[in-house]
Structure 1
Amino acid sequence: MFRGSMVALVTPMLEDESIDYMSLEKLVEFHIASGTDAIVAVGTTGESATLDMQEHCEVVKFVVDKVNKRIPVIAGTGANSTTEAIELTQCAKEAGADACLLVTPYYNKPTQEGLYLHYKKIAETVDIPQILYNVPGRTACDLLPETVIRLAKIKNIIGIKEATGDISRITQIKAGVSDEFDLYTGDDATAVDFILAGGHGGISVTANVTPKLLHEVYFAALEGDAEKARRLDAPLEGLHRDLFVEANPIPVKWALAEMGLIGHAIRLPMTQLSEKYHAVVRAAMQQAGVV
């Protein structure tokens, strides 16, 4: 359903830690003008873990309303409680989101059968396209290819964001799913190789900072032009690496603040980027041509 560069959008905040809706609207317009192919609202990069239920739903609705169908909006609605994930997914459907992105239940370490039943129940309860999201480095929970293949048989589970950085995963999953099942990377550093191996795009942190160029990178890869994709991606290698010198979204929010797109605020327990990393992230931004 979705192709290309999908930004894992930050949630800008004011110094009192409330949502900065003025800056959020500015970001939406920035991405639409820059050719971003879809916006993912309130995912990991959007500080979903620190927004309460009401804020979560309000941010999704705000982004959907401001985008106004110009590009797709995918709402992050995963939770480690199946009931809460259903509530968030229903909220996103009512807000008019085009699809939902559901991270694996974090912290409680379900079995593969538990993961299957978790996603199955959400999909059967809320009739909206749903994308699985596997990021074991953040969740301590790995959604294995064989479980993905089982889930792909459920009508409204349409794809997966696979963020392990393991390119062999795409081969394993593709072998057991239909051609209609979408494969997105969540690992910026390996995104070009992922798409060249048959992926359909990426849900990206780097896209917050360089949306226009990353759109061009991903579409070159989608067209099978490996040389062009790698050449265009080369200046972004520093960002792919250094936007993770501290836990996401700390570095990317600092970078966007340096670009004048948002303020520096972030919500505890996340903190602002350590001063020792300022020069590191700034150098990566300079390499990418954004400062």
Structure 2
Amino acid sequence: MSSVVNGSAPNGHVSRILKPGIYAPIPTFFLPDSEDLDLPSFEAHVIRVANAGVGPLIAGSMGEAIHLSHAERVTLIHAARNALDSAGLKHVPLIVGTGAGSTRETIELTKDAAEAGADYAIVIASGYFAGVLTGNKEALKAFWTEISEKSPIPVMIYNYPGASGGIDLDSDIISELALACPNLCGVKLTCGNVGKLTRIADTVSGSDFSSNHPRKNQNAPFLVLGGFTDFITPSTYANGHGAITGLANVAPYSVVELFKVSVASRQDPSLLTKALHLQGIIGRADFTIAKASISGTKYLLEKLYGYGGLPRKPLPPISADAAHALWDHPHTQALVKLERELSGKVKVQ
């Protein structure tokens, strides 16, 4: 077994180290006529973001997990792991979305993902019965408790009301789960609630948390991650651990630089001005680009890197007018300029 893969949990599964930082929910790319998986583009993109210091998360919302069969998710895991290993990135962990309709199916998919090479799972509650689950604290806690107990790999909570029928976990539920479930390794807050992030981070960053509530896997601390880039600097000062953000697909070097400078500014206050400058550029770009959703992100990838394509139906492509407006928007162009400077490419004229 490779020496870079360590930290065996009691269940015998081994996971690569999960660190604070920036992670990207990788899009799933499809061939234009058949809508079959476009694995060469997928593999190239996984390597691109990983080389920039961004951790890949596959089969999430940006990856159109709801449009993927179980077999396709497994295929993507194998492809991503093989691509990373072949590129000399064996140390990079794979986070995989395994949320499904029922607790039973989620557990099955999580086990399949672990067998295929996933290091961590991220799980969202299905919104199909949101009318019953919303507000039912015990049912929601039971969902992540059972999955984390039966999963062979550490599990991250995914809180995204927009993709789960409005189910929005509050800070009490998430904090209680963190305290009670040693196989939970964090939370992604795509609710955009900075106060919630602050409260949860305070709970898990206290000196007594790691000693009184150790994780089952020593390589899997409980990370509190935002779902957008517009509050990375403030969340760093609230003991947050970074972000899982779709914008890191488009501008991985820029978002990584923002996180690094924000963290460093806590020790060197003279860097705070730079952090806030980067935060302004990136926050405005995130606000603009996020509104274009998956199709907009894929369009920008096509424009910048030569691959992207269309989402799977029934998601529509971005219209030509909207695409041109997105590319020409000053927020987008400011980000593109920054990204090209940081990645060492020729500056935009």
In structure 1, C-alpha distance between the alignment counterparts of 2:283 and 2:22, rounded to whole Å = 16
Which of 62, 65, 71 is 1:54 aligned to?
71
- Paired residues for 1:211-230 under 5 Å: 211-223=252-264, 224=266, 225-230=271-276
Query: Structure 1 residues 203, 127: closer, same or farther in 2, change over 3 A?
Result: same
Segment drifting more, 277-286 vs 70-79: 277-286
In structure 2, C-alpha distance between the alignment counterparts of 1:107 and 1:47, rounded to whole Å = 17
Structure 2, gaps ≥5 residues long = 1-17, 211-220, 341-347
Segment drifting more, 97-106 vs 126-135: 97-106
Code of the aligned partner of 2:225: Y
- Paired residues for 1:194-233 under 5 Å: 194-223=235-264, 224=266, 225-233=271-279
Contact 1:104 1:143 in 2 (8 A): no
Contact 1:82 1:122 in 2 (8 A): yes
Q: Which residue of 1 aligns with 2:148?
A: 123
Q: Which residue of 1 aligns with 2:217?
A: none
- The secondary structure found in structure 2 opposite 1:259 is helix
In structure 2, C-alpha distance between the alignment counterparts of 1:266 and 1:137, rounded to whole Å = 18
Query: Structure 1 residues 32, 261: closer, same or farther in 2, change over 3 A?
Result: farther
Is 1:163 the equivalent of 2:208?
no
Is 1:104 the equivalent of 2:149?
no
In structure 1, C-alpha distance between the alignment counterparts of 2:310 and 2:97, rounded to whole Å = 21
In structure 1, C-alpha distance between the alignment counterparts of 2:69 and 2:167, rounded to whole Å = 23
Contact 1:86 1:125 in 2 (8 A): yes
Query: How far apart are residue 31 of structure 1 and its match?
Result: 1.4
In structure 2, C-alpha distance between the alignment counterparts of 1:193 and 1:141, rounded to whole Å = 25
- The secondary structure found in structure 2 opposite 1:243 is helix
Code of the aligned partner of 1:236: I
Code of the aligned partner of 1:121: E
**Larger RCO (CA within 8 A; separation ≥ 6):** 1
Query: How far apart are residue 10 of structure 1 and its match?
Result: 0.8
In structure 1, C-alpha distance between the alignment counterparts of 2:297 and 2:308, rounded to whole Å = 12
Structure 1, gaps ≥5 residues long = none
Contact 1:235 1:287 in 2 (8 A): yes
- Paired residues for 1:149-160 under 5 Å: 149-152=175-178, 153-160=180-187
Contact 1:196 1:226 in 2 (8 A): no
1:32-65 deviation digits (Å, cap 9, x = unpaired): 22222x1101110001011111111211221122
RMSD over equivalenced CA pairs, Å? 1.8
TM-score when normalising by structure 2: 0.78
- Paired residues for 1:1-291 under 5 Å: 1-15=18-32, 16-36=34-54, 38-68=55-85, 69-109=90-130, 110=133, 111-139=136-164, 140-152=166-178, 153-177=180-204, 178=209, 180-223=221-264, 224=266, 225-246=271-292, 248-282=293-327, 283=329, 284-288=331-335, 289=337
Query: Structure 1 residues 80, 172: closer, same or farther in 2, change over 3 A?
Result: farther
Code of the aligned partner of 2:199: Q
In structure 1, C-alpha distance between the alignment counterparts of 2:233 and 2:73, rounded to whole Å = 31
- The secondary structure found in structure 1 opposite 2:191 is coil
Instruction: Give percent identity, aligned residues only.
Output: 27
1:248-268 deviation digits (Å, cap 9, x = unpaired): 312111111111341422201
Code of the aligned partner of 2:160: V
Query: How far apart are residue 174 of structure 1 and its match?
Result: 3.1
Contact 1:195 1:222 in 2 (8 A): yes
Q: How many residues align?
A: 289
1:2-52 deviation digits (Å, cap 9, x = unpaired): 21111111111111211100101111221122222x110111000101111
In structure 2, C-alpha distance between the alignment counterparts of 1:102 and 1:66, rounded to whole Å = 24
- The secondary structure found in structure 1 opposite 2:200 is helix
- The secondary structure found in structure 2 opposite 1:189 is coil
Contact 2:122 2:156 in 1 (8 A): yes
Query: How far apart are residue 175 of structure 1 and its match?
Result: 4.1
In structure 2, C-alpha distance between the alignment counterparts of 1:123 and 1:236, rounded to whole Å = 34
- The secondary structure found in structure 2 opposite 1:237 is helix
